[in-house]
Homo-oligomer: A and B are copies of this chain.
Amino acid sequence: SDSYSLLILPGDGIGPEVMVEVVKIIDWFQTHRGMSFEVTQDLVGGAAYDEHGSPCADETLEKALSVDAVLLGAVGGPQYDSLDFSVKPERGLLRLRKELDLFANLRPAQCFDALADFSSLKREVVAGLDILIVRELTSGVYFGEPRGIHADDNNPDNEGGRVGVNTQRYTSGEIRRVARSAFDLAGQRSGRVCSMEKANVMESGILWREEVQWVHDNEYPDIELSHMYADNGAMQLVRNPRQFDVIVTDNLFGDILSDAAAMLTGSLGMLPSASLGAKMENGRPRAMYEPVHGSAPDIAGQGKANPIACILSFAMALRYSFDRGDAAADLERAVERVLADGVRTADLMGPDGGTPVSTAEMGDRIVAAL
C-alpha cells in the first residue's frame, strides 16, 4: 500500500527545528506523489523527562512498536547532565533501540562533492568517499550484564574503595544477523565487507570474527570479506578511508569508528542513519531513522541548524521502510542540487562562499528543488 505510519520524535536541542523541515518534505510527497503518511508526534529524551520524568515513556514506546517507522531528531542537553544515569536523555534512545530490537545501524559516511573542502583531510583523500558502517546496535557492552558501580570494601589496595563494571557480551546469533545485514548491503554496493574487532585481546572479538566468517562462507561466498583489528581500522580510516566499502563492527567500536568516519567527510551536518530490526508482519522492518549529529544545544532555536541530515534520514526511511528507492533518490538529488547552487546553512559556510540560509530556508529550497 502507499500508506505509511510514522512516529516523529523531535527530541531536544536542534531536533525540533530540523524536524519541522522534514515535515515540509513529507507534505510534499503527500501532495505530489500520492503517498499518504499517517504522522504522530511524541516526546523523547530530555523533553520527555521534563514532561513524564522518563526519557521514553511507556506510551511512546508502544506507539513506536505500532508504526512502520520512527523518525528521531536528537537527544540531550547540558541541563540534563546531572540527572541520574537511568533517566538521562540517552536512555530514551537506548530503550527504543533495544525494545524495537534495531540490531543493524547503517551509517553512511559520504563526502559530498560540493563540501569536500570542509574536511580536515586533504581533498584527494576524501573526494568521492562513500562508505557504509554497519554497527551492531542492541548488544555488546551497551546492554551486557552485570554492570554497575559497587563498593569494593574487601580490597585494602583499592584507594577509593569502588569498582565499576560493564560486560561485553555477544551471542553467535546476534553476530550472525548483523553480519547478514552487512553482506546484503554489500551485495547492493561494491561487494566488499571489512569486519573489525579486537580478536587479538578479546574473546568476544574472536567469536565475532569466527561467526562473521561462518556467515560469509556458508551464505555469502561471493562477497569479499576481510578482517581488521579495530585500532588498525581507526588508523586506516584516517590514512585512506576509500579502501573501505562496507564495515561491520560491534556496538562500541561502531560508535567510535562511525563518528571518526563521519568527521572525515567534513559533512557531519549532512549524514543520516538508519537502525533496522527484524521484519514485522506487514513485511517492513522495524526501523528508526535519525541524523548522526547530536542535539547541538549551543545553536538550538536560532535557525542555524542544518536540516539536511534529518531530511536524508527520511530519504533512508523511504528506501528501507517504504521500499520507495525512487522517491529516496529524488530527494537525495534535490539536496545535491541545492548544495550545488551554493545554498548553505551556517555550518556549511566556508572557503567557497555561497548563499547563507536559515534552517527553514534550506528546507524550502529543497522542497522547491523536488
Q: In whole Å, how far is A168's beta carbon from the nearest beta carbon of chain B?
A: 4
Q: Tell me if A165 and B203 are in contact (CB < 8 A).
A: yes
Q: Is A173 an interface residue (CB 8 A)?
A: yes
The prevalent SS among residues of A at the interface is helix
For A90, give its contact among B174, B200, B203 (CB under 8 Å): B200
**By the criterion CB–CB under 8 Å, are B167 and A163 in contact?**
no
- A203 contacts across to B, CB distance below 8 A: 85, 147-149, 164-166
Q: Are B234 and A164 neighbours in the complex by a CB distance under 8 Å? A: no
A284 at the B interface (CB under 8 A)? no
Contact B208 A164 (CB under 8 A): yes
Residues of B within 8 A of A246 (CB): none
Q: Chain B residues near A168 (CB, 8 Å)? A: 141, 165-168
Q: Is A198 an interface residue (CB 8 A)?
A: yes
Residue in B closest to A76 when the chains form the complex, CB atoms: B200
**A235–B207 CB distance below 8 A:** no
Q: A88-B200, A120-B238, A142-B201 are in contact. Are A170 and B160 (CB under 8 A)?
A: no
Copies of this chain in its oligomeric complex: 2
* A259 lies within 8 A of B240 (CB): no
List chain B residues, Cβ under 8 A from A165.
144, 167-169, 203-204
State A166–B166 Cα separation when bound (angstroms).
Answer: 9
A202 to B149, CA, bound (A): 10
Complex interface residues of chain A between 167 and 183 (CB less than 8 A to chain B): 167-177
Whether A350 sits at the interface, judged by CB under 8 Å, is no
A198, B255: Cβ atoms closer than 8 Å:
yes
Q: Are B160 and A172 in contact (CB under 8 A)?
A: yes
Chain B residues contacting A125 (CB-CB under 8 Å) are: 120
**Residues from chain B with Cβ under 8 Å of A141 in the complex:** 141, 168, 201-202
Closest partner residue, chain B, to A125 (CB atom): B120
Please report A residues at the B interface, Cβ cutoff 8 Å. 85, 88, 90, 94, 120-122, 125, 141-142, 144, 147-149, 152, 155, 157-177, 198, 200-208, 211, 214, 230-232, 234-235, 237-240, 252-253, 255-257, 259-260, 262-264, 268
Beyond A158-B171, A230-B255, A234-B263, 14 additional pairs, beta carbon < 8 A: A94-B201, A120-B240, A149-B206, A155-B171, A159-B177, A160-B211, A163-B171, A164-B205, A165-B203, A166-B167, A234-B256, A234-B260, A235-B260, A238-B263
**8 smallest beta-carbon distances between A and B, as pairs:** A160-B172, A164-B207, A164-B204, A159-B173, A234-B260, A231-B259, A238-B263, A235-B263
Would you list 18 pairs from A and B whose C-beta atoms are within 8 A, ordered by A residue? A85-B203, A121-B121, A141-B201, A144-B165, A155-B171, A158-B172, A160-B211, A164-B169, A164-B206, A164-B207, A164-B208, A165-B204, A166-B202, A198-B252, A198-B255, A231-B256, A234-B234, A234-B256
